[in-house]
Structure 1
Amino acid sequence: MATMAPMALYNQTVDFLSGAFSNNQTHLQFLAVTGASFTLGLLARSVFPRNESSQSVLVSPRSTVLPGISESERRKLPLPADVFPGARDVASPYGSIRVYEWGPEDGPKVLFVHGITTPCISLGGVAHALVDRGCRVMLFDLFGRGYSDCPADLPQDDRLFSTQILLALTSSPISWTGAESGKFCLTGYSLGGGIAAAFASYFPQLLSSLVLLAPSGLLRDSQISFQSRLLYSKGLMPENILAYLVTRRLKAGPLTTPKPKNKKLNAADVLTEELPSQRAAATQVLSRAYPHINIPSTVAWQVNNHTGFVHAFMSSMRYGPILRERQWNRWSRLGGYLTAQNSAPSSENEKLADNKVHILCGNNDSIIVKSELVPDATAALGGNVVFKFYEAGHEFPSTKYEEVASYIFDLL
């Protein structure tokens, strides 16, 4: 390897990490290629000029796309700025946050947190269905997704996301957290499920109920592929090259087939599993104002137009509430709280719904595996958990939204 021409070495490394050698290559071959990243690093300055900007916030399409197009062109975007009612942009030290809130002001409150790839449009079907039932709903785009900016100098971990939840809540014209607010139901999907569980472990007294849809947070270490571990290990390769590789993979769109259940998780699987099939995407209605909106086109547009999306995706993969080894303490803290509440006298019991965490998943989910999730969540939460499974995959909240909404409403 050391005698290869520099550009030949570069091209082989890019092809390898982009999946061109995804057949039966061994771990030793991968180590040989990535070991050459020291040589590759010498090329990085000329092949990928370093960004010397000290910019701390990477702005969303709200600042880079919307100002340059007409109102009619805005309505034709894969993600229009008014895709949901009650849109507002919340200024914060971390950048602007896009929040949507609508429904009866005196109705039961539900806050949604979406996944790693798709902005909050993925939960639009559930949100609309709950408003139909008289609920007040709030959704927001996580940092680096949709129309929310991305802080470039902070890790996307549960601390940052918990802060973002509080910022979204306090931006409401009505109280979501006050003594007379009636508390709210927190519902998180995929990465948002891990975020919601971590938030609930610190602020359970704010919640009336906790619903986790195919949640991350307890993904076993053995589920992550060797290649992905090296690819997302900070410092192994120059960041500008790694960002290029991830961008290239994300722009390629979903895989043609779902991840086999016996295959370990990589970044491509995360992207694919959040996207519904083309058939499902054609039938789902996630936005009442724009019924043609679908998740695949929204994600593709986001990859190409949000300056902070690739950074947010990479940072969430590295630091987000995904792996069991990092999140067990949060889940067990929440379980301890629920156990204590269940043993308290009823007159002193400020219940989190029925003092259970409600976990909804798809039987065919190849990322959140039922046979691992059930024992791990049961143990971490001290048995204070209820499971519901649907005949679907990881994308079920965007395809079975009426069923999910009915389940949540029954809790309220």
Structure 2
Amino acid sequence: MTSRSSLLPGALEWRLVLAGTCLFSVGVIAGGLWNKKKASTARSPRVTVLPKLSPEEIASIPYPPDVLPGARDVDSPYGSIRVYEFGPEDGRKVLLVHGISTPAIALGAVAHALVDNGCRVMLFDLFGRGYSDNPEDLPHDIRLFTTQILLVLASSALSWTGKDSGKFSLIGYSLGGGIATTFASYFPNLIDSLILFAPAGILRPYHISRTSHIIYSEGLIPESLLQRLVRKRLRRPMATPLKKPVDKDNMVDATEAVAAEVNLEANSQAVLSKIRPHVTVEKTVIYQLDNYPSFVAAFMSSIRYGPVRYQHDRWRIVGEHLSRENEEKGTQKKVLVVLGANDPIIIQKEVEEDATEVLSGNVEFAVFDAGHEVPVTKGDQIVAQIMDFWQRTD
């Protein structure tokens, strides 16, 4: 017969398990009631600023909503997305992805030149830039960027991904280059050709300063304080843009990437919009800082989570796909990488070495006498290079 004492430990253990389970359940329910993270979407100046302005005032702002042809606003669960699509409907389809600080207008010169050469182009403002809303509760990582690209493609009245639509060419600038390459690694069968302007993605880590590591690390400093600090730092580099390339002993602050994109002296003569010639990337960035509070949060999140560094494995997938395709079809498909010889962020020699290795040699380089702003100031020359590239590699 089992003694009473032998039953006590088991009974006690069972009661403890039951009590623990009940407490855990209460915690889960409480967490669901009080700690559930809610979706939070910050509206762009399209909603917060434009309705307060007259048509004349809207036409004169640094980033007018009609800065490029074919503007539309695409509603999505992540917020509204500003898209521009223009050019002949039967032309070669080209999707362009801009950089970390400037909206789609930074690639305006390239887009217009492509259209002049018979292409159908589509550009869009990344979340938190220009006239696209910002899903503040989500990290700006490749998952969000990939979703945004697919939403943009699906918003077109033309088929960009359907069976009979043919493939499209993908162009990415700076952060957009990292986004474009990683996107292509997941959807290689959608992409006809990949072209990168001063691309992020395989930036060597020693170029990022210790200060940037601290500023863009979460949890060390209150986020509100960090955003105020970054907002000030984003303004400061534009007054003294970088002019010399960095090397292994010369690190760069992450916010100085804005100065490299803006490059006041070079960009002052760049024509980005055919109907709004007063528009410049410098004025557009300042406009965002003054009128789009969530822009700084999007900028910071893109540095923290975006495909800026350590994307070598995804680039290798692109290179391996091109090797297989070239072997099977007898083609000479390559990635075209456009660089600025004086770029202080994306160093020509380093990119040529690293991209050649990770892309299995399936890469061609075009170097221009410019800095990181190369597609802003060299639009016509770059498109001439692209047209020649397509003629040789299609």
Same fold (TM over 0.5): yes
CA shift, 1:383, in A, is: 1.0
Task: Determine the structure 1 residue equivalent to 2:384.
Answer: 406
Cross-structure match for 2:259: 272
Report if the CA contact (8 A) 1:123-1:286 is conserved. Answer: yes
- Aligned partners of 1:409 and 1:307: how far apart in 2? 39
| Greater radius of gyration (CA) | 2
Contact kept in structure 2, 1:254 and 1:268, CA below 8 Å = no
Contact 1:126–1:401 (CA under 8 A) maintained in structure 2: yes
- Please tell me the residue identity of whatever aligns with 1:175: S
**2:383 is the alignment partner of 1:396:** no
C-alpha spacing 1:199/1:233, structure 2 compared with 1 (3 Å): same
| Structure 1: tracts of 5 or more residues without a match | 1-52
Tell me the equivalent position of 1:107: 91
TM-score, normalised via structure 1 length? 0.83
- Cα distance per residue 1:338-369 (max 9 Å; x no partner): 111122154xxxx6xx3211101011111111
C-alpha deviation, 1:410, in angstroms: 2.8
Q: Could you tell me how far apart the structure 1 residues matched to 2:182 and 2:243 are?
A: 27
The structural deviation recorded for 1:118 is 0.6
Residues 6-45 of structure 1: per-residue CA shift (max 9 Å, x gap): xxxxxxxxxxxxxxxxxxxxxxxxxxxxxxxxxxxxxxxx
Q: Which runs of 5+ in 2 are unaligned?
A: 1-36
CA deviations over 1:267-298 (Å, ceiling 9, x no partner): 232110001333x3332110011011111111
How far apart, CA to CA, are the structure 2 residues paired with 1:71 and 1:164? 30
Q: Deviations over 1:270-327 (max 9, x none)?
A: 110001333x33321100110111111111001111132001000001011111x2x1
Say whether 1:305 aligns with 2:291.
Answer: yes
1:85 aligns with 2:69: yes
Show the 5 A alignment for 1:179-194.
179-194=163-178
C-alpha distance in 1 between matches for 2:261 and 2:241: 13
The C-alpha deviation readout for 1:127-173, integer Å capped at 9, x for no partner, is 01111111111000000000000111111111111111111111001
- Is 1:140 the equivalent of 2:124? yes
2:323 alignment counterpart? 339
Partner AA of 1:58 in structure 2:
A
Please give the alpha-carbon distance, in whole angstroms, between the structure 1 residues aligned to 2:226 and 2:237: 18
Q: Aligned to 2:238, what secondary structure does the other structure show? A: coil
Q: Indicate if the aligned counterparts of 1:198 and 1:331 stay in contact, CA closer than 8 A.
A: yes
- Equivalent residue, structure 2, for 1:383: 361
Q: Give the AA of the match of 2:262.
A: L
Return the alpha-carbon distance in structure 1 between the equivalents of residues 47 and 329 of structure 2.
Answer: 53
CA contact (8 A) 1:276 1:399 kept: no
Distance 2:235 2:54 in 1: 26
Q: Is the 8 A contact 1:110 1:138 kept in 2?
A: yes
Aligned partners of 2:198 and 2:338 also within 8 Å: yes
1:209 equivalent among 189, 193, 203: 193
Aligned-pair CA distance for 1:55: 5.9
Distance 2:338 2:125 in 1: 22
Residue 317 in structure 1 maps to residue 295 in structure 2: no
Separation in 1, partners of 2:39, 2:163: 40
Q: Are the aligned partners of 2:216 and 2:300 in contact in 1 as well (CA < 8 Å)?
A: yes
Q: Secondary structure of 2:262's match?
A: coil
The code of the aligned residue for 1:375 comes to E
Q: 2:47 aligns with which of 40, 55, 63?
A: 63
Greater Cα offset, 90-99 or 252-261: 252-261
**Percent identity over the alignment?**
54
- TM-score with structure 2 length normalisation? 0.86
Of the three residues 265, 271, 277, the one matched with 1:291 is 277
Cα separation, 2, equivalents of 1:405 and 1:296: 23
Contact 1:124 1:286 in 2 (8 A): yes
Is this contact kept in 2: 1:60–1:144, CA < 8 A? yes
Tell me, in whole angstroms, the C-alpha distance in 1 between the residues paired with 2:321 and 2:141: 22
> Which residue of the partner structure matches residue 334 of structure 2?
356
Give the superposition deviation at 1:388: 1.0
The one-letter code matched in structure 2 to 1:150 is: N
Letter in 2 for 1:266: D
Q: Which runs of 4+ in 1 moved over 3 A?
A: none
Instruction: Give the AA of the match of 2:164.
Output: E
- Residues 207-246 of structure 1 correspond to what in structure 2 (within 5 A)? 207-246=191-230
- Measure, in 2, the Cα distance between the counterparts of 1:240 and 1:55: 19
1:129 aligned onto 2:107: no
CA RMSD of aligned residues (A): 1.6
